[in-house]
Amino acid sequence: MLNYLFQEYSSQASFLNVFSYITFRTGIAIFTSLITVLFFGQTFIDYLKSSTYFNQPIRNDGPISHIIKKAGTPTFGGVLIIFGILFSVLLWSDIKNIFVLICLFSLLSFALIGFFDDYLKIKFKNSKGISAFSKIILQLIFSLMIFYIISISIQNEQRFLLNIPYYKNLIFDIGYFYFPFAAIVIIGSSNAVNLTDGLDGLATVPLILVTLTFILIVYLSGNAVFADYLKIINIKNISEVCIVLGATVGSCLGFLWFNAPPAKIFMGDTGSLALGSLLGTVSLICKHELVLFIAGGLFVLEALSVIIQVFSFKVFGKRVFRMAPLHHHFEKKGWEESTIVIRFWIISIILVLIALSSLKLR
């Protein structure tokens, strides 16, 4: 809204021309969502705490110290994050841009799944929520819808391209196999972030790091000169997505203020499923899906630990880890929560740097 207003009057006040720059609007989107979450955060938390109805049910098979520390902490923090993102995006983005609309659809559709899941958990006072089958079916439907809209919004010759990082011209057209691949990317990203969100601040900082990575990638992919120089696929009109990602960074930073140990609020499935889906969607739009696999490697490790644990137990009757996801394994080994979180953050920083190197090492 303000974006359109300022650009309309830029001919009368030249300093308003700054709002035509993606970089400036991305920066102000970060600041806007950050301030929004900080401003409303404590009031929102106080409201949730005023009723024990919103307390997050904790897995009763986890470490005893974990159960004691987390009991009584309200969930639905994802609502606060998404509110900050939407407010900032509506103010500073070109809301008519198709890629912005796709990102918002991805964010809100998976947030709806997460919200329903969180609601069932607190209603029945357990940590199960929606059945795994129902959740996957809903995610599959939304994922295919998201990629179909992406596929008709970019140039025909770019629809089904799969770009291999670290190689200049190693690009494959995988045709309609891209649909199941796209579903795997979005669903996998969404659930991997959800699995990582188990300790105070554990998922939030890696989310910020990966989102910052994709702000740069999207900006470069949307600029024909930079894209040609770096030998990456140029997607027209994609740069506006930087505003959405900037708003996401700001909201997550604001949320981290309240989610830092000891957490006053949890993100819940509402936030983790939505934010993971957003990252998967953006990676599909800019054709850097495999880079997301690298940058979000921490999320991948957490998801793989669950897959390995379930497979090993069902096939061999043995557990590989003391508990899955991976962060609970280290809790069971006696690591302090803060130690686990900070070391996982360090791993995430390293993986993000490796992912960014793919832009130049070709």
Q: What are 20-41's pLDDT values in tens digits?
A: 789 999 999 999 999 999 999 9
The candidate with the shortest Cα–Cα distance to 106, out of 88, 86, 120, is: 86
Tens digits of residue pLDDT in 275-327: 999 999 999 999 999 999 999 999 999 999 999 999 998 888 889 888 889 99
Half-sphere exposure of 1 (CA within 13 A, CB side): 5
pLDDT above 90 coverage of the chain, percent: 61
Beta-carbon count within 10 A of 362 CB: 15
End-to-end Cα distance, the chain: 40
Sign of the CA dihedral with 112 first, then 235, 149, and 285 last: negative
The candidate with the shortest Cα–Cα distance to 140, out of 176, 203, 191, 102, is: 191
The candidate with the shortest Cα–Cα distance to 271, out of 109, 130, 82, 143, is: 82
Tens digits of residue pLDDT in 36-81: 999 999 999 988 888 765 665 555 555 545 444 555 678 889 999 9
Alpha helices in the chain (DSSP H): 2-8, 22-49, 64-70, 77-92, 98-124, 132-151, 178-196, 204-222, 224-230, 241-259, 268-285, 289-295, 297-316, 326-332, 337-357
Instruction: Give the whole-angstrom CA distance, residue 103 versus residue 112.
Output: 14
Using the structure block, give the residue that is written with the tokens 């989610």: 259
Report the predicted TM-score, pTM, of the whole model to 2 decimal places.
Answer: 0.92
On the question of pLDDT at 253 being above 60, the answer is yes
Tens digits of residue pLDDT in 86-114: 999 999 999 999 999 999 999 999 999 99
- Cα 320 to Cα 60, 79, 337: the distances in Å are 20, 35, 21
Give yes or no for a contact between 103 and 292, defined as CB atoms under 8 angstroms apart.
Answer: no
- Cα 147 to Cα 54, 125, 202, 248, 283: the distances in Å are 34, 35, 29, 21, 11
Beta-carbon count within 10 A of 361 CB: 10
The candidate with the shortest Cα–Cα distance to 213, out of 353, 22, 76, 96, is: 353
